[in-house]
Structure 1
Amino acid sequence: MEEFREEGHPRKIEINWRPYFINPATNEEGEEFNAYCKKVFGGEFPATLPGKEEGKAFTNWAMWPNTLQAQRLVHHAGEVGGADMQTKMYDILFRYIYEEGRNCSDEEVLIEIAREVGIEGAEPYLRGKEGKSYVQRAATDATRMGITGVPFWTVYREGKEDEDPVTLSGPSSSKIFKKIIEDLSF
């Protein structure tokens, strides 16, 4: 999206984040990445492969997190600061997981992310139940809609949300996004 904006395209791009669990049965504490991949996928996680083409090799991905608490915090970020704060939080989550090898199942790591984003009171929020039923229900709804992987994108032309959207499931290159956005910008 940054590349699209840097090229001076006038269209506003809004990202709305929705909860989804790749594997809701992941241990609450997260699981060591390579062992998890071997157990579940029989080897390397396939989603890391397209990222290599974009210069995102996921080389420091050390833990497969259970994302319930992280997604509760992202939901809370949306309530506190809207979609922009959610995007900032996901940027940090992705950096921590894929580049720094941090375990984003860990409450202390999530509190650190909340501070970095500017959310006060993350500790009592994470220890409570607020947002949990919403996140679980939204993730279940996504599965019922047929979503089977992340990221899952639904792209609409501005002001034409009643038209059929373009959908993408799984990792997609920036070239694909650029083409879709340009096609929808007429």
Structure 2
Amino acid sequence: MSATKPVMRIDIVSDVMCPWCIIGYKRLELAMARFTDSVDFDLHWQPFELNPDMPAEGQHLGEHIAEKYGSTPEQSEANRQQITDLGQSLGFAFNFDDQSRIYNTAQAHQLLHWAGETGAKGQQHALKMALFDGYFTEQNNPSDIEVLIATAAKVGLDADEARAVLADKRYEQTVKANQNGWMVNNITAVPAIILAEQYLISGAQEADTLAEAIEQVLSLS
């Protein structure tokens, strides 16, 4: 990071299963690009499980949406098309199909926490992006340990250490505590973006809205 520019910390509370989280991030990315010459951004991905009780085998996406939100198959399909179109406009490919499933993300969040602890700048972010790509674009199962290890290795993290982290569950309680901490602070839906640890933006807001919020925080610093 440049020594001459201010640094703004941005925490993003999200789940790999959340399509609006990657849409929200892509919009944030557009907003941040407007400040390339004036601000360095320090991103931290924070855990939030949308479906903590989801079994390892997951659940069919359409069935899950119907049970959770009461959506008809037609409504669910329309929503997926809206998300796909939005993703395309932002340069992200959603490849939903008839076999798409929702999965448990507890271990993915543990791996993300570890990546954030490694000290190598950007590895947690790279892993998060790879997990989004793996799930939404490639239709991989992020609750599969081998998928998680391969994804970690893909972004330059140590595969053997990733396997050890998942095997001994060293970050399981820490991640749970972090999730509970966000919920105590009234974050009950994602994405939630916190600028400079003080300004909360809920939902996948437009890039203009996010840029205005960044400008406001900068004016107060």
TM-score > 0.5, shorter chain as reference: yes
- Map 1:156-167 onto structure 2 (within 5 A): 156=196, 165-167=198-200
2:10 is matched with: none
Q: Check whether the contact 2:83–2:94 (CA below 8 A) recurs between aligned residues.
A: no
Share of identical aligned residues, percent? 26
The answer (yes or no) to whether the contact 1:31–1:63 under 8 Å persists in 2 is: yes
Q: TM-score, normalised by structure 1?
A: 0.83
SS in 1 for 2:65: helix
Q: CA RMSD in A?
A: 2.5
Q: Deviations over 1:105-129 (max 9, x none)?
A: 1111101111012221212221212
Does residue 1:58 correspond to 2:109, yes or no?
no
Opposite residue 61 of structure 2, the aligned amino acid is F
Question: How is 1:1-186 mapped onto 2 (pairs within 5 angstroms)?
Answer: 1-7=28-34, 8-43=36-71, 44=76, 49=82, 52-53=85-86, 55=89, 56=92, 58-60=94-96, 62-82=100-120, 84-120=122-158, 121=160, 122-156=162-196, 165-186=198-219
* AA aligned opposite 1:177: L
Distance 1:131 1:4, change over 3 A: same
Relative to structure 1, is the Cα distance of residues 152 and 47 closer, same or farther in structure 2, using a 3 angstrom cutoff? farther
Structure of greater relative contact order (alpha carbons < 8 Å, 6+ residues apart): 2
- Matches of 1:168 and 1:51, distance apart in 2: 23
Unaligned runs of 5+ residues in structure 1 are: none
Please say which of residues 31-40 and 86-95 is displaced more in the overlay: 31-40
Query: Counterparts of 2:212 and 2:37 in 1: how far apart (Å)?
Result: 12
Rate the CA distance shift 1:41–1:181 in 2: closer, same or farther, 3 A: same
Comparing both structures, which one devotes a greater share of its residues to strand? 2
**Matched position secondary structure for 2:182:** helix
Aligned length: 179
- Unpaired runs of at least 5, structure 2: 1-27
Question: In 2 relative to 1, CA 12–47 (structure 1 residues): closer, same or farther, beyond 3 Å?
Answer: farther
Q: Does structure 2 conserve the Cα–Cα contact (< 8 Å) formed by 1:37 and 1:45?
A: no
